Amino acid sequence: MKRILVTGGAGFVGSHLCERLLNDGNEVICLDNYFTGKKQKIIHLLDNPYFELVRHDITQPFYIEVDEIYNLACPASPVQYQYNPIKTIKTSVMGAVNMLGLAKRIKAKILQASTSEVYGVPDIHPQNEEYWGHVNPIGVRSCYDEGKRCAESLFVNYHVQNDVLIKIIRIFNTYGPKMEPDDGRVVSNFIMQALQGKDITIFGDGQQTRSFQYVSDLIEGMIRMMKTDDDFIGPVNIGNPGEFTMLELASEIIDITGSKSKIVYLPLPQDDPTQRQPDITLAKEKLDGWEPTIPLREGLTKTIAYFERLQKEDEL
């Protein structure tokens, strides 16, 4: 049994990770300040004697003895991270410093949940780990993009200078149950609009693409990354290379829900990438043949069922 710290553990991805780590026979300490995370996402775990919940903000130092750290703490959708951009960049940068300092002191292995946003508006397609990115350092998304880029730099330099055991993954668009209905992500936006019979709002002409990864595929990739040899630090893309236009996504959601929603078009936001698709060649090679297994329609069906349950609970 390992003792594992998950920062941001009450968030969308973090709550799924905590559950999986417990199911794998580990002791889990979930750390969250509830800026975007919610206790409801992990409340079913509180009766487990090997699960511990701590309210804490990683911009402040934290002291504990653990074997591994998964650093997930940071608002991750544009609506969330643009709400308080200074808080967002402090969480990425100061949070990385504090968690790396902890890992250095206790000799723990630490994984950084970085993001495909480090590639910005990409000049190459699909994006591989050798690509340095094309990011606007002063744009509306820079608090998140540059915060994560700086965190990657901190991780690499703590590894080189202080021999900290690190792992870096770059997460591409992920969806699934426990997403927030109002988080501003395209999947949750489209699902809620369809379930409520509202117009589905597509920004731009609907031909911009994303690659959608179901959350269980991401969790499997994260756990495999943590198990790799110490000399492989990443970064490595974790995402689904299946590429869909916004129009295709909206049409699929309308079909599954049976909604009468109409599609309307709005101007494209600043610095919104027109293409985003991971090259997962490195992940397949280094993560024991890892690749996504959940097709888009199957994942959307499970996610829609979750949002339908939320709606019914709100109506009670």
Sign of the C-alpha dihedral, residues 14, 19, 20, 25? positive
Our answer to whether residue 144 is catalytic in this structure is yes
Of the listed 70, 81, 119, 144, which one is catalytic? 144
Residue 300, SS3 per DSSP: helix
Which residues, listed in sequence order, are joined to residue 265 by a DSSP beta bridge?
A: 202
Residue 243, SS3 per DSSP: coil
Place of tokens 């790799």: 228
Interatomic CA distance for residues 262 and 250, integer angstroms? 10
Q: Are 62 and 214 in contact (CB under 8 A)?
A: no
Q: Which residues of 34-71 are buried (b: 16+ CB within 10 A; e: fewer)?
A: ebbbeeebbeebeeeeebbbeeebbbeebeeebebbbb
Q: Are 177 and 306 in contact (CB under 8 A)?
A: yes
The catalytic site residues sit at: 144
